[in-house]
Amino acid sequence: MWREASTPLTQERFTRSTGGACYGLELATDQIGPRRPGARTELPGLFLTGASTVWGPGVSGAVTGGVGTAGAVLGRDLMAEARAGRVFADRARLSEIAPDWDPLAASRPSSPTRPRRPADGRPAH
């Protein structure tokens, strides 16, 4: 059995973020944008992702970093594909688009799936 715990001191030791800051590298002018690490490393097959990467700090940076790193692994620009409207899910498993769709209710496993409605009023794909 393996158990591990971390504290703000652990964060500071391994990430050099003071006070256990959970949002990655300091957001200073010398640590933003291209000055942060990208997805690729010098080690084949080792990729980086998260709030300390080039995609930026916080939850949104971590999520965007995950998409960016997945794209680096696959050799594709997944963000551009998503912006262009690509659906990465099996469309047959998506609920029907309808006016009474509630995204919160649809995301709960215990709730029956409610139909989605498109933002622009288009019919379902």
Both 76 and 22 in one domain: the answer is: yes
- 39 neighbors 68 (Cβ within 8 angstroms): yes
Both 74 and 119 in one domain: the answer is: no
Domain containing 122 equals 91-125
- 112 neighbors 101 (Cβ within 8 angstroms): no
Both 48 and 101 in one domain: the answer is: no
Q: What is the pLDDT of residues 5-58, one digit of tens each?
A: 777 777 677 766 665 566 666 677 887 778 889 999 999 999 998 888 888 887
Both 64 and 98 in one domain: the answer is: no
Q: What's the number of domains the chain is made of?
A: 2
CA distance 101 to 19: 42
Both 34 and 71 in one domain: the answer is: yes
Both 30 and 70 in one domain: the answer is: yes
User: Which pTM does this prediction carry?
Assistant: 0.58
Both 52 and 108 in one domain: the answer is: no
